[in-house]
Amino acid sequence: MTADSRIPARFAALASEGRRALVPYVTAGFPDLETTVPLLRGLADAGADVLELGIPFSDPLADGPTIQYSSFQALEAGTTVPAVLDMLRAFRETHDTPVVLFTYLNPVVHYGVDRFCADAREAGADGVLLTDLPVGSDPEMEARVTSSGLDLIRLLAPTTGFDRIAGIAAEATGFLYYISRTGVTGARETLRDELASEVVKLREAVGLPVAVGFGISTPEQAAEVAAIADGVVVGSALVKTLQNDGPEAAVAFLRGLREAMDEAVPGNRRAR
C-alpha cells in the first residue's frame, strides 16, 4: 500500500524465510540526546528488524513506570520533535532498518499533522504509531497520516471485539501490534495463558503480519512469542537495561533475545 515504506518489504522477506521480526522500542533522547543514534545502530546490528523510536510525551498515560521515567528524563535532557527527526536522519546515513515513530497525539497535533508526516518521511521514518489515536476516533486525521505514505501502525488489545478487529485490519498498514494483556507498558514475569490462542485466531483473521508486545522481558518470553507471532516487540525491559547498565548492555540484551528467538524458530537462524 505504501510503496516507500520499508516495513512490508521487511516482513515479506522474513516470512519467505520463515523468520520472525524483532522489534525493539527505545525512548529518543534517553538517557541523553547523544546516546540514541549509536544505540539505534547497535540495535540494528544486533538483529533488530524494525525499530520503534519513541518521541517522549509529558503525559504518557499508556506507559508504565519505566517508559514514564525515560520519557521525563528525555524531556529534561531537551528532546523535542525536531531533535528526534535529526536523530533519525543521522541513523539513516548508515542504516536502512525500518523505523516507526512511536508517540502520543499531542506533540504531533502541535507540530501539525501534515507537517509532521512530511518531515518524518523526509527524515527516513517508515511508520508512525500513535497510542491515543485508535481506529475510527478521528477519520480525517487518520486519513491525513495514511495519505502521507507513512504506515499507520495499529494496536489491537485483548478487549478489542472481533467485529472491530476486521475494521482495524482493513485500515492498518505495515503490521498489527497486538497488546499481550490489558494494561500499560512494562515488564511482566509471565505471559497470559490465553495469548497463544488469541494470536493464532488473530493471524487467521487478518492479512497483515502480527507483532506482539507489552510485558515481554526475557529471552524465554521472546522465544515463546516468536513461536506464535510474526514479530516480537520489546520496550520496557530494553529501556530498563539501558537505564541500569548502559547502551552496550542494552544491545547485548537485544542480541540475547535475537538468539533465543532464532533457537525457537528454526527458520529464524541467521548466518552471522
Partner 1 sequence: MTVETLEAPTGRFGRFGGRYVPETLITALDELSRAYAEAKEDPEFGAELCDLLVTYVGRATPLYRAHRFEEVVGAGPVYFKREDLNHTGAHKINNAIGQALLCRRMGKRRIIAETGAGQHGVATATACARFDLDCTVYMGAEDVERQALNVYRMKLLGAKVVPVESGTRTLKDATNEAIRDWVTNVEDTHYIIGSVVGPDPFPRMVRDFHATIGQETRSQILEAEGRLPAAVVACVGGGSNAMGMFHPFVGDEEVDLIGVEAAGEGIETGRHSATLSTGTPGVLHGAMSYLLQDGDGQVAPAHSVSAGLDYPGVGPEHSWLKDTGRARYVAVTDDDALAAFHELSRLEGIIPALETAHAVAYMRSMGAEYVGRGPLVLCLSGRGDKDVTHVARVTGDRIG
Q: Residues interacting with partner 1, by CB under 8 A? A: 57-62, 64, 68, 72, 75, 80-81, 104-111, 131-135, 137-138, 154-161, 164, 179, 182-184
Sequence-distant (6+) residues with CB within 8 A of 197 are: none
3-class state of residue 124 by DSSP: coil
* Among 52, 151, 230, 262, the one annotated catalytic: 52
Q: Which is nearer to partner 1, 2 or 131 (CB)?
A: 131
Sequence-distant (6+) residues with CB within 8 A of 15 are: 209, 230
Q: Which is nearer to partner 1, 17 or 76 (CB)?
A: 76
Q: Which is nearer to partner 1, 65 or 267 (CB)?
A: 65
Q: Which is nearer to partner 1, 159 or 244 (CB)?
A: 159
Determine whether 122 is an active site residue.
no
CB of 131 to partner 1, least distance (A): 6
3-class state of residue 75 by DSSP: helix
Between CA 84 and CA 99 the distance in angstroms is 12
Q: Is residue 31 within 8 Å of residue 73, measured between CB atoms? A: yes
Determine whether 93 is an active site residue.
no
* Among 49, 63, 151, 224, the one annotated catalytic: 63
Q: Which is nearer to partner 1, 90 or 157 (CB)?
A: 157
Nearest alpha-carbon partner for 167 in 137, 194, 140, 141: 137
CB of 64 to partner 1, least distance (A): 8
Between CA 174 and CA 191 the distance in angstroms is 25
The C-alpha cell at 113 is 499533522
Between CA 241 and CA 159 the distance in angstroms is 30
3-class state of residue 55 by DSSP: coil
CB of 205 to partner 1, least distance (A): 16
CB of 30 to partner 1, least distance (A): 15
Q: Is residue 115 within 8 Å of residue 162, measured between CB atoms? A: no
CB of 70 to partner 1, least distance (A): 13
Sequence-distant (6+) residues with CB within 8 A of 175 are: 7, 11, 21, 50, 151, 153, 208, 209, 210, 211, 230, 231
Which residues are part of the catalytic machinery?
Answer: 52, 63
